[in-house]
Chain A
Amino acid sequence: MEEMILKLKQEIIEVLNLEDIKPEDIDNDAPLFGEGLGLDSIDALELIVLMEKNYGIKLQDPAKGKEIFKSINVMADYIQKNRTR
């Protein structure tokens, strides 16, 4: 799980161009949206693409993303349970 979380953080940093943020800067339990990383609605949509491209998870309803992108831990857990690749 630890390894997967690190990989996920690296992927997020890359696709969202979080240039000055390192994996260790992202708290596993802190909300991804809201304060902190300064992510917006386009970032949320891009995370949906990431889930499909890297883990084969199709998310039709963007509102569901709100739940899944609560924190790195929640997201990693969801991916673990639903990944098809």
Chain B
Amino acid sequence: MDRVIRCIADNVVSPLGTTSRSNYDSVKAGRSGLERYESMGNITTPFVLSRVDRKVIDGLCAELGISGNYTFFEKFLLCSSVQAVRDSGIDASSDRVLFIVSTTKGNVSLLGQPEEGIAQERVLLAKAAREVTWFFGNPNSPIVVCNACISGVCAQIEAMRALCTGRYDYAVVIGADEQSPFIISGFLSFKAISDEPCRPFDKDRKGLNLGECAATVVLEASDVKDSGWELVCGAIRNDANHISGPSRTGEGSYLCLMEVRKECRRQELAFVNVHGTATAYNDEMESIALYRAGLIDVPVTGLKGYYGHTMGAAGIMESILSMYAVRDNTVLATRGYREQGTTYPVSVSSETRECKGSEFIKLLSGFGGSNAALLYRFVE
């Protein structure tokens, strides 16, 4: 397969900005979207969340010409993808363009709170995704990747494969999740949420924060050598251990890392952008997987201290920010980290560091024993 898969446009909409650039600048400046909430709906336990201002999204929709009866989740998907598609210059109405949506819960809030003018069937993920392809006039049936927290990496891997077959020229990969009481109460019942800003890889980490983000990459299949970000390879592996607890040996993440290492030029590897949810088990598991994969000395960075866990968007937004960081020769600071808190000491820092190299690995893991990793490379 000589086709090269290149990222030609990207966008991130979050509390920290409505473009990838503004998000990167905010993170580099140390800003975080995390805020403490004392309650929400029937939830009375305090928690920390990174939440998008609904007015900002409505304003953005008006600016981008997104008008229609859409849920917040659908608006979120649209205001990120419309910007990315516009920047890419592609004709998204062509049948040579594939749309892939990455989400864990989509319009699930409709179950608790039906909305006037919104058909209840939009709670079905493919129906919500159809709203997006309709908006762009794209004739292909949309596909939704729903692999828990690893969905955003899986969606990019699926896009890469679909493009490699030659059937499509472009893939628009969009990830988003709305943080409704549904998801928050669930993670609270798992005692996985911290009521303080999260502390990835720190010895005092108390759990994760949830967050809202929508992110898009537009990928292109090309036979021509050109400068830009290439999606080199990716892998998805299962721990085959437990449906919610991470593997004690980091099995799936280890297997994913070993797979992407095959294509990785070690001296070019700038950093590994980890999942780093700041739960006791996840970060420990990742440190074991990195150690086993011989990557313990590579700089490690995690973004949950700025965004929280953005579920369906995480794999995409965190890949985009990593691209900006590599181009800026920077390992972004892992906000919230202070002191080593894993068995194997990963190279993580609360400070922004300088780095060399043109490649990075994005690693994720999630419920269902699922793990995924991908490798991006910048070609001059």
Contact = CB atoms under 8 A, between A and B. Distances in A.
* A and B in contact, CB less than 8 Å: yes
Interface of A: 40-42, 45, 48-49, 60-62
A49 B191 CA distance: 11
A49 B245 contact: no
A53 B272 CA distance: 43
A45 B245 contact: no
Contacts of A40: 242, 245
A49 B244 contact: no
Interface in B182-240: 189-191
8 contacts: A40-B242, A40-B245, A41-B242, A45-B191, A48-B191, A49-B189, A60-B191, A61-B191
A41 B245 contact: yes
A60 B193 CA distance: 11
Contacts of B245: 40-41
Contacts of B242: 40-41
A41 B190 CA distance: 9
Nearest to B244: A42
Interface residues of B, number: 7
A13 B18 CA distance: 50
Nearest to A63: B191
A51 to B, nearest CB: 13
A48 B191 CA distance: 10
Nearest to B243: A42
Interface SS of chain A: helix, strand, loop or mixed?
helix
Interface string B282-305: 000000000000000000000000
Interface string B162-197: 000000000000000000000000000111000000
A62 B244 contact: no
Which residue among A40, A41, A60, A61 has the maximum number of chain B CB atoms within 10 Å of its CB?
A41
A44 to B, nearest CB: 10
Interface in B303-333: none
B301 to A, nearest CB: 29
A19 B244 CA distance: 21
A69 B143 CA distance: 44
B278 to A, nearest CB: 16
Interface in B238-253: 242-245
Contacts of B244: 41-42
A62 B189 contact: no
A48 to B, nearest CB: 8
A42 to B, nearest CB: 6
A41 B191 CA distance: 11
B36 to A, nearest CB: 16
Given A42-B243, A45-B190, A61-B191, 12 more contacts: A40-B242, A40-B245, A41-B242, A41-B244, A41-B245, A42-B244, A45-B189, A45-B191, A48-B191, A49-B189, A60-B191, A62-B191
Contacts of A62: 191
A40 B244 CA distance: 10
Nearest to A44: B191
A1 to B, nearest CB: 29
A49 B242 CA distance: 21
A45 B242 CA distance: 15
A66 to B, nearest CB: 12
A42 B190 CA distance: 8
Contacts of B190: 45
Which residue among B189, B191, B242, B245 has the maximum number of chain A CB atoms within 10 Å of its CB?
B191
Which 6 A-B pairs have CB atoms at the shortest separation, nearest pair first? A62-B191, A41-B245, A42-B244, A45-B190, A45-B189, A45-B191
Contacts of B189: 45, 49
Contacts of A42: 243-244
